[in-house]
Amino acid sequence: MVASSRTTQTLRYGDEQLFSMELEPSRLAYRHEPPVPAAEFASDLKRQLESPLDFPPLEMAVVPDDRIVIALDRHTPGAAEIIAAVWSIFERRSIKPKDVTILQPASWNAGQLPDPRAALPAAVRQAMHWSIHDATDKKRERFLANSANGERIYLDCDVVDADLVLPVGAVGFDPLLGFRSAGSAIFPGLSNIDAMAKARGQDHAELRPTDDRPLRQLQDEVAWLLGVQFGIQVLPSLGGQPAGVICGAVEATTSAARDWLQQHWLVEQPQRCEIVVASITANAAGASWEEVGAALQSARNLVQRGGKIVLLTNLSAEPTDGFRYLQQGESPREALKPLRLEAPPDVIPASRLASAADWATVYLVSGLEPGLVESLCMTPLAANEAARLLERGGSCVLLEAAQHTFGYVA
């Protein structure tokens, strides 16, 4: 009897769910191994705040009675631990809780956010302000300055009036920015509805993350105009937990975080493969259509035309408005034109799905009704059906936590 040469490949997806498939070693072109959560995040954070990169300790940046705004990006891993650690420093400098405001950016896709003050003592939690910026409230607008291109920059009045603005956020690949960093929490999310609408645009699928992006340059300029000097960059890992953190001067930490991101989440391949299996793991935001779009974009960049993309999720959220164009069109390609013309708030994830479905056959493991999945130009599968589908076929690339990756063929 000849022993089987197949090996078992396991991918995590959803909330600690496991997907297993039998695969001949010769078929495995590449497997991406994502970084794991930091074992000592709290102690590493404390050390970084006391000995930051290219900057004095954070406690040297504040004095009693300072008004402080922590610009906390939405769905930042480890947010509650970071707020607690930063507060312990402010408390030593006799800062009052009422003088600290945690402000999170506005978003086109509203959703319940966890209270970032959860790890604070009860009395501090009650006194410290926490709010999500309302970009439609004209009373909150405050003129900051004109940009180098003559654009009038408006921000939330608390941000403009603050003695210290401390941006906190996760680094990641972004369709509009190339790279997202802590400073991305400030603009346009803490500006007005006009700035948010102007920033909403098409996915620059033809660009690499390192290529220049006008919006990213404007974000850097706004931070400079605001006098932001210190930032906390959170490094993402599996399961909605931080892999690490980099604290210090904004420019230095952003550069270091981008280098780390490319080392751990950039997937470069010499050629396209026939099958991409991509999983989406639960993170601080939970499974979302934005994550589906990000994972599909990486998979589409790596798979051959006419190949197969198998997406493993526990997605149960109903699709947002932009996805109706796929349901109404006769083909994914036909959906792209009205999508880009109308540019709904979810134009990027919807366009990414349409583009992937036009390029390859997309199979989806999810908690959605099969009829709904089919109406979105995908084929619904159960996990065991997906495993059987993958028993035969060609070369495979496996992407775990694919929503964080950027895949491309050199």
The stretch 308-333 carries a mean pLDDT of 92
**295 has a pLDDT exceeding 50:** yes
Strand 242-249 vs strand 230-236: parallel, antiparallel, or unpaired?
antiparallel
Q: CATH number of the domain that 355 lies in?
A: 3.90.226.30
- Please report whether residue 1 resides in a domain: no
- Please report whether residue 277 resides in a domain: yes
- Please report whether residue 136 resides in a domain: yes
Instruction: State how far the Cα of 126 lies from the Cα of 128, in Å rounded to an integer.
Output: 6
E strand segments, 281-321: 303-312
The stretch 323-337 carries a mean pLDDT of 91
409 forms beta bridges with 269
**40 has a pLDDT exceeding 70:** yes
Biggest CA–CA distance in the chain, Å, is 79
The stretch 147-167 carries a mean pLDDT of 97
Residue at which a domain ends, from 209, 229, 263: 263
Of residues 306 and 6, more confidence is placed in: 306
**285 has a pLDDT exceeding 80:** no
Q: Do 317 and 202 share a structural domain? A: no
The per-residue pLDDT of the chain, averaged, comes to 93
Residue 134 tokens read as: 């309302």
Residue 344 tokens read as: 């709904």
Residue 118 one-letter amino acid: A
- Please report whether residue 373 resides in a domain: yes
**111 has a pLDDT exceeding 80:** no
Q: CATH number of the domain that 212 lies in?
A: 3.40.50.11440
**3 has a pLDDT exceeding 60:** no
Q: Do 291 and 212 share a structural domain? A: no
pLDDT value, residue 123: 97
- Please report whether residue 244 resides in a domain: yes
When computed from its CA atoms, the radius of gyration of the chain, rounded to whole angstroms, is: 22
Q: Do 197 and 97 share a structural domain? A: yes
pLDDT value, residue 2: 45
Q: Do 365 and 309 share a structural domain? A: yes
The stretch 337-349 carries a mean pLDDT of 89
Tell how far CA 391 is from the center of its chain.
Answer: 32
Q: Which of the listed ranges 3-7, 339-343, 393-397 does the model predict with the highest average pLDDT?
A: 393-397
Lowest mean pLDDT among 197-206, 228-237, 291-300, 386-395: 197-206
pLDDT digits (tens, 9 = 90+) for 47-60: 999 999 999 999 99
Q: Do 315 and 349 share a structural domain? A: yes
pLDDT value, residue 284: 47
- Percent of the chain predicted with pLDDT > 90: 83
Q: Do 287 and 191 share a structural domain? A: no
Q: pLDDT grade, residue 240 (50/70/90)?
A: confident
Q: Do 361 and 246 share a structural domain? A: no
pLDDT value, residue 1: 41
Q: pLDDT grade, residue 110 (50/70/90)?
A: low
Q: Do 256 and 293 share a structural domain? A: no
How many structural domains does the chain have? Answer: 2
**246 has a pLDDT exceeding 90:** yes
Residue 185: DSSP 8-state? G
H/E stretch holding 335: helix 332-342
**294 has a pLDDT exceeding 60:** yes
Structural domain of 187: 41-263
**224 has a pLDDT exceeding 70:** yes
- Please report whether residue 93 resides in a domain: yes
Q: Do 365 and 246 share a structural domain? A: no
The stretch 367-392 carries a mean pLDDT of 94
Q: Do 286 and 137 share a structural domain? A: no
Nearest to 203 by CA among 406, 403, 348: 348
- Please report whether residue 183 resides in a domain: yes
pLDDT digits (tens, 9 = 90+) for 164-214: 999 999 999 999 999 999 999 999 999 999 999 888 765 677 788 988 888
E strand segments, 51-99: 68-72
- Please report whether residue 2 resides in a domain: no
- Percent of the chain predicted with pLDDT > 70: 97
Q: Do 220 and 116 share a structural domain? A: yes
- The residues near 369 (Cβ < 8 Å, ≥ 6 apart) are none
Residue at which a domain ends, from 263, 288, 315: 263
Instruction: State how far the Cα of 263 lies from the Cα of 261, in Å rounded to an integer.
Output: 5
Residue at which a domain ends, from 234, 263, 292: 263
**108 has a pLDDT exceeding 90:** no
The stretch 249-262 carries a mean pLDDT of 96
Q: pLDDT grade, residue 11 (50/70/90)?
A: very high
Strand 17-23 vs strand 7-13: parallel, antiparallel, or unpaired?
antiparallel
Q: How far is CA 64 from CA 58, 102, 160, 246, 341, in A?
A: 14, 18, 19, 26, 52
pTM: 0.93
Q: Do 175 and 67 share a structural domain? A: yes
